[in-house]
């Protein structure tokens, strides 16, 4: 049996296959003309309107659907933004020290230098961000943007409180820096209050906001979006060369979600919360001073820090032999530094697999002790 906790997939158990098939049967005959044309740079208007509604419902901010562009997952939005803003000499981004590997790898492959800011239990340490920006300023280096996952940070699961968000915005303004907010997990929310998105706290026209349907619906539909003010949007759209996003996926997704977006999200989150709870309970049951772990109130991951006497290299070998999959800390570090961390994803496997697999992982960790 392979236990796979490596990837931030969603929950196949409550995927609405029949309803989606009915939505497809209903909508496809209505969009024959659209399907026979290239979509254009912005993509399906109906889904853009629905995403504007989603943002309004969550943030209370009115977005113009004409300032939203649909993308092939939010990852395409991230690469387009980096491509648009990181031309020329010495491209540099400031971001959380531990971050989503997809973004790190994309930035690295584009030759972008990444300055990592350490995190604590409230997300990016904004005091250290201030020091880093001052340092770079003294060196005459200007970051092209600050990239932040302020809500349900991947991999740490932290949520940046409102005060800290305001401090980040003030620093960005002081150093004349664009903020790129990646809110991929913003609606994968289990309990408690959630601070507003950065863009809802600030109307700086250079702010860029990226979101996705991967984590609240399904990553296989490859639908994400970004919004920015017109001048910024034009600069980003100049880097779009794919003839536009997938009309079929957007139209079917909109037809299904249109009248039940929040019901769908609520049902998905209830099931995910059970999986999170199962993982937390199993981790607690087997921890025995081997590791400590995060208690995220949203997102799809739990972040573990190993005790000092765990040999990480040995753990990776043992876990591979016993077929327990996860991502080790080095994948998330902007400098590729290994560190005593690992990330577990709980969205996809059933509860019984989570319980059995995490118990097996704990045994692997125990057997990787130096003492
Ligand atoms: C923080 C973050 N941003 C972006 C993505 C990309 O997601 P997608 O391209 O499926 O929208 C992910 C996927 O795991 C992520 O964790």
Concatenated DSSP letters for 252-315? HHHHHHTTTHHHHHHHHHHHHHHHHHHHHHHHHHH-TTSEEE---SBSSEEEEEE-TTB-HHHH
What pLDDT is recorded for position 94? 98
Single residue among 240, 259, 278 that ends a domain in this structure: 259
* Same-domain status, 286 and 229: no
Q: What is the pTM of this model?
A: 0.97
* Same-domain status, 171 and 243: yes
What pLDDT is recorded for position 41? 96
What pLDDT is recorded for position 196? 98
**Distance between CA atoms of residues 173 and 85, nearest Å:** 17
State the distance from the centre of ligand 1 to the C-alpha of 370, rounded, in angstroms: 36
State the distance from the centre of ligand 1 to the C-alpha of 309, rounded, in angstroms: 33
* Same-domain status, 168 and 88: yes
Which residue out of 8, 51, 70, 74 has the highest number of ligand 1 atoms within 8 Å of its CB and is therefore the one to mutate?
74
State the distance from the centre of ligand 1 to the C-alpha of 29, rounded, in angstroms: 31
State the distance from the centre of ligand 1 to the C-alpha of 310, rounded, in angstroms: 30
Ligand 1-lining residues (CB < 6 angstroms): 8, 73-75, 100, 102, 149, 154, 182, 184, 212, 214, 219, 224
State the distance from the centre of ligand 1 to the C-alpha of 75, rounded, in angstroms: 6
**Distance between CA atoms of residues 269 and 182, nearest Å:** 20
* Same-domain status, 99 and 123: yes
Task: Give residue 2's Cα distance to chain centre.
Answer: 25
79 phi and psi, to 5 degrees?
A: -70, -35
* Same-domain status, 78 and 192: yes
Give, in order, the Cα–Cα distances in Å from 256 to each of 23, 47, 170, 245: 5, 11, 40, 18
Does the N-terminal peptide bond of residue 58 adopt cis geometry, omega within 30 degrees of 0? no
Single residue among 219, 244, 259 that ends a domain in this structure: 259
* Same-domain status, 52 and 136: yes
Q: Which ligand 1 atom sits closest to the C-alpha of 222?
A: 10
* Same-domain status, 287 and 342: yes
What pLDDT is recorded for position 371? 83
**Distance between CA atoms of residues 3 and 360, nearest Å:** 9
Which residue out of 75, 215, 250, 347 has the highest number of ligand 1 atoms within 8 Å of its CB and is therefore the one to mutate?
75
Single residue among 259, 293, 327 that ends a domain in this structure: 259
- In the DSSP assignment, the letter for residue 120 is E
SS (H, E, C) 327-357: EEHHHHECCCCCCCEEEEECCCCCHHHHHHH
Which sign, positive or negative, has the C-alpha torsion 305, 308, 310, 316?
A: positive
Q: For residue 179, which of 137, 138, 150 has the smallest C-alpha distance?
A: 150
Q: Specify the CATH number for the domain of residue 148.
A: 3.40.640.10
Question: What ranges make up the beta strands (E) of 89-201?
Answer: 92-96, 113-117, 119-120, 123-124, 145-148, 179-182
Q: Which ligand 1 atom sits closest to the C-alpha of 74?
A: 11
Domain coverage including residue 304: 3-13+263-367
What pLDDT is recorded for position 269? 98
- Indicate the number of domains in the chain: 2
Q: Which ligand 1 atom sits closest to the C-alpha of 72?
A: 9
* Same-domain status, 242 and 275: no
* Same-domain status, 142 and 241: yes
As averages over each run of 10 residues, the pLDDT of the chain (371 residues) reads 97 96 98 97 98 98 97 98 97 98 98 98 98 98 98 98 98 98 98 96 95 98 98 97 97 98 98 98 96 98 98 98 98 96 98 98 98 83
């Amino acid at each position: 049996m392979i236990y796979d906790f490596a990837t931030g997939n969603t929950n196949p158990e409550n995927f609405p296959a029949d309803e989606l098939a009915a939505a497809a049967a209903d909508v496809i005959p209505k969009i024959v003309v659209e399907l026979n044309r290239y979509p254009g740079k912005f993509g399906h208007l109906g889904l853009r309107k629905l995403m504007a509604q989603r943002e309004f419902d969550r943030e209370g901010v009115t977005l113009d659907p004409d300032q939203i562009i649909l993308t092939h997952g939010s990852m395409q939005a991230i690469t387009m933004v980096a491509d648009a803003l990181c031309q020329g000499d010495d491209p540099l981004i400031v971001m959380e020290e531990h971050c989503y590997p997809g973004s790190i790898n994309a930035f690295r492959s584009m030759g972008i230098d990444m300055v990592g800011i350490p995190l604590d239990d409230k997300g990016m340490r904004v005091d250290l961000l201030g020091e880093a920006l001052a340092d770079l300023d003294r060196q005459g280096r200007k970051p092209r943007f600050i990239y932040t996952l302020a809500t349900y940070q991947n991999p740490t699961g932290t949520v940046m409180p409102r005060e800290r968000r305001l401090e980040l915005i003030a620093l960005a303004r002081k150093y004349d820096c664009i903020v790129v907010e990646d809110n991929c997990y913003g609606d994968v929310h289990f309990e408690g209050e959630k601070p507003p998105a950065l863009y809802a706290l600030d109307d700086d026209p250079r702010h860029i906001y990226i979101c996705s349907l991967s984590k609240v619906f399904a990553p296989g539909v490859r639908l994400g979006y970004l919004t920015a003010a017109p001048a910024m949007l034009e600069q980003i759209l100049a880097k779009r060369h794919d003839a536009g996003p997938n009309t079929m996926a957007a139209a079917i997704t909109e037809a299904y979600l249109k009248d039940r977006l929040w019901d769908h999200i609520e049902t998905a989150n209830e099931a995910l919360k059970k999986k999170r709870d199962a993982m937390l309970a199993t981790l607690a049951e087997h921890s025995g001073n081997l590791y400590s772990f995060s208690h995220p109130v949203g997102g799809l991951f739990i972040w573990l820090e190993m005790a000092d006497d765990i040999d990480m290299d040995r753990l990776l070998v043992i876990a591979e032999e016993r077929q327990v999959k996860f991502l080790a800390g080095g994948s998330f570090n902007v400098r590729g530094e290994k560190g005593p961390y690992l990330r577990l994803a709980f969205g996809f496997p059933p509860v019984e697999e989570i319980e059995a697999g995490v118990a097996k992982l704990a045994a692997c960790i125990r057997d990787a002790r130096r003492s």
